[in-house]
Chains A and B, each alone.
Chain A
Amino acid sequence: MKIEMEQHRAVLLVRLTGELDHHHAEQMREQVDREIARHPSRAVLFNLRGLTFMDSSGVGALLGRYRKIDAAGGRVAVCEVPDAISRITEISGLARIIPFFNREADALRYLLLGVPSKRRL
Chain B
Amino acid sequence: MGTSTFMKLEIESLSENESFARVVVAAFAARLDPTLEEISDIKTAVSEAVTNAIIHAYEDRVGLISVRAYIDGNVLTVEVEDWGVGIEDVEKARQPLYTSKPELERSGMGFTIMENFMDKLTVRSAPGQGTLVTMVKEIRSKSRVKEY
| A residues lining the B interface (CB < 8 Å) | 19, 21-23, 26, 29, 53, 55-57, 59-61, 63-64, 84, 87-88, 91-93
Contact = CB atoms under 8 A, between A and B. Distances in A.
A21 B55 CA distance: 13
Q: Is the interface of B mostly helix, strand, loop or mixed?
A: helix
Interface stretch (B43-51, B65-73, B76-84, B87-95): B43-51
A84 B16 CA distance: 21
A51 to B, nearest CB: 12
B109 A92 contact: yes
Contacts of A64: 105
Contacts, number: 71
Given A56-B48, A84-B40, A91-B113, A21 B105 contact: no
30 contacts: A21-B15, A21-B51, A22-B15, A22-B51, A23-B15, A23-B16, A23-B18, A23-B19, A26-B15, A53-B40, A53-B43, A53-B44, A53-B47, A55-B44, A55-B51, A55-B113, A56-B48, A56-B108, A56-B109, A57-B47, A60-B105, A60-B106, A60-B109, A87-B40, A87-B117, A91-B109, A91-B113, A91-B117, A92-B107, A92-B113
B19 A88 contact: no
B54 interface: yes
